[in-house]
Amino acid sequence: MFDDNEPTGVAVVDLPPLPDGWTYRTLGDLLRPNGLSYGVVQPGSENPTGIPILRVKNIRRGRVLTDDVLRVSRDIEANYQRTRLKGGEVLLSLVGSVGEVAIAPAISEGWNVARAIAVIRVVDTLESSWIKLCLESELAQHFMHIWQTTTVQATLNLRDVRQIPIVLPPKRDREAITCVLGALDDKIAVNGQIVATSVALADGYYEKFSGSIDLGPVTFEVVASIRGGGTPSTGESNYWDGGIPWTTPSDVTALSAPYLFKTSRTITDSGLANCASQLYPAGSIFMTSRATIGAFAVSQMPAAVNQGFIVVVPPRDELRWWLFHEMRSRVDEMLNLANGSTFLELSRKNFKAMPVRVASPEILQQFDAKVAPLHQRAAQAAHESAVLAGLRDTLLPKLMSGEVRVRDAEKVVEDVT
């Protein structure tokens, strides 16, 4: 069993130096007996009265999402008691999005996990929260990346999981670091609730205001400017890394809230001039139209897009959120209009021809007065969370290596929370 005072060592090369009193161990050294297993291999079809199991899609940004779980037959789940959850276990994704980490919440007691997730139970003298931080760290993620196999899709096996290096400071340091980063996580979680509540309220208002309005002859093309995007030549270096945000579908599908503040890539003025995208104004509605159809973001800054989008530019501000909610409520229809042999795509032609609910100026004004402040508050919370997450990602490796001491990090966190 692990003891803070036990002499330790880990057989992994090129590990960065640690402060005095800190050491490394492999994850395998810190497990309870049978403390590392993967879950249900063949869950079968959905069983409405079965046992919920968590999949990779349920682990995102350090938290477990419990609103869309698969339920499997109790007879099938009974064969996997080793991974039946009690709450408090560390969960690690092994397939696809390798390296997603979370702690099983209390609500998941009695649930199970899919084959693509490892359930990690550490010894009683070590905190699950610390193991989660270690697995999220740049060091552990680096080893998971180089050890994963990618023949069909990214996969990490349990043998390599056991060899992941875990940083072990004295208990007082572990608790202090966990507390500092936990303050950021807590604030991010509160903001997440603000976003979810605000967007849900806005959806409710749309249902109320649009419920008595029928679809008529007016189409999206009539009420707004409908555009698309493109990609500058990747072989022209002077087209890239400029000051213009350039949006890809992955920028939007990765969002936890439908507000776009930054993009992973940028282009130059020359790049913009040599692609099919315009520089769309802040407030434009970006909707993915290929493969994943119907992921949305309202751009918070002027931005260009690639060819995977339909862009709706409202002619006036009070129409923006009406069109946004109208589009979100019509995704199933859009999927029926999509076609393609390699992947589904909704053409701009088909989208433009879709009829749209037309509200009177009075209804639009009333709706916007209710909904615009909700989206403004949600966007503010989402932006603050992005800033806090960036700070957390910056502090995590520095705290885990001892480069930044807890008292200095506490001052930084106090200033932003």
User: Which residues have C-beta within 8 Å of that of residue 405, sequence separation ≥ 6?
Assistant: none
Q: Sign (positive/negative) of CA torsion 251, 252, 253, 256?
A: positive
Joined together, the tokens standing for residue 260 give 């776009």
pTM (2 decimals)? 0.81
Identity at 415, one-letter amino acid code = D
Q: Which residues pair with 305 in a beta bridge?
A: 247
Residue 13 confidence (pLDDT): 54
As annotated, the residues of the chain forming the CATH 3.90.220.20 domain(s) are 23-168, 214-358
Q: Which residues contact 70 (CB under 8 A, 6 or more apart)?
A: 43, 46, 52, 53, 55, 114
In the chain, the N- to C-terminal Cα span, in Å, equals: 38
Q: What is the pLDDT of residue 153?
A: 86
In CATH terms, the superfamily for domain 23-168 is DNA methylase specificity domains (3.90.220.20)
Q: How far is CA 346 from CA 105, 288, 326, in A?
A: 39, 9, 16
Encoding tokens for residue 332?
A: 């199933």
Strand partners, 238: none
pLDDT computed for residue 37 by the predictor? 97
Q: What is the pLDDT of residue 408?
A: 87
- Give the burial string for 44-72 (b: 16+ CB within 10 Å, else e): eeebeebbbbbbbbbbebbbbeeeebbbb
Q: Is 210 exposed, middle or buried (0-12, 13-18, 19+ CB in 10 A)?
A: middle
* pLDDT-flagged residues of the chain (< 50): 1-12
38 has which bridge partners? 118
User: What does the chain come to in residues?
Assistant: 417
For residues 140 and 129, what is the distance between their CA atoms, to the nearest angstrom? 15
Give the type of residue at 76: I
Structural contact between residues 128 and 166, judged by C-beta atoms closer than 8 angstroms: no
Among residues 225, 259, 226, 260, the alpha carbon closest in space to that of 246 is found at 260
The whole-number pLDDT of residue 1 equals 41
At 337, the amino acid letter reads L
* Residues in Cβ contact with 33 at an 8 Å cutoff, skipping those fewer than 6 apart: none
Q: Reply yes or no on domain 214-358 having CATH 3.90.220.20.
A: yes
- Three-class HEC string of the chain: CCCCCCCCCCCCCCCCCCCCCCEEEEHHHHEEEEEEEECECCCCCCCCCCEEEECHHHEECCEECCCCCEEECHHHHHHHHHHCCCCCCEEEECECCCCCEEECCHHHCCCEEECCEEEEEECCCCCHHHHHHHHHCHHHHHHHHHHCECCCCCECCHHHHHCCEEEECCHHHHHHHHHHHHHHHHHHHHHHHHHHHHHHHHHHHHHHHHCCCCCCCCEHHHHCEEECCCCCCCCCHHHEEEEEEEECHHHHHCCCCCEECCCCEEECHHHHHCCCCCCECCCCEEEEEECEEEEEEEECCCEEECCCEEEEECCCHHHHHHHHHHHHCCHHHHHHHCECCCCCECCHHHHHCCECCCCCHHHHHHHHHHHHHHHHHHHHHHHHHHHHHHHHHHHHHHHHHCCCCHHHHHHHHHHHC
